[in-house]
Amino acid sequence: MTVIKKKRKAIVEQSDCVACGCCVKVCPLGAIRIIKGIMAQVDENKCVGCGKCAKECPASVIDIRARRSLPSVSTASCSLPRYLA
């Protein structure tokens, strides 16, 4: 049986981000960075959804939301015919 987990992640409304960098300074895992000097971007693989960045954001453009995380499937255990893979 496939179990789909939901994990909390920070989501940035990038069009309203002012690239101040406050979120970057408070993230304990280095999961958020400013890209191209114009907006924050979250690395979902590192983010644990602690919410520190959202509390710090002066523009209130970070939400902490549950995101679906699908389990990885190894090709060795895949039963699909090779042409469908």
Contact positions toward ligand SF4, by CB under 6 A? 10, 12, 17-23, 26-27, 29, 31-32, 34, 40, 42, 47-53, 56-57, 59, 61-62, 64
The residue among 64 and 67 lying less far from ligand SF4, judged by its C-beta, is 64
Question: Hey, CA dihedral for 52, 53, 57, 60, is it positive or negative?
Answer: negative
The residue among 51 and 78 lying less far from ligand SF4, judged by its C-beta, is 51
Residues 4/68, Cβ–Cβ less than 8 Å: yes
Identify the three-state secondary structure at position 21: coil
Identify the three-state secondary structure at position 16: helix
The residue among 25 and 78 lying less far from ligand SF4, judged by its C-beta, is 25
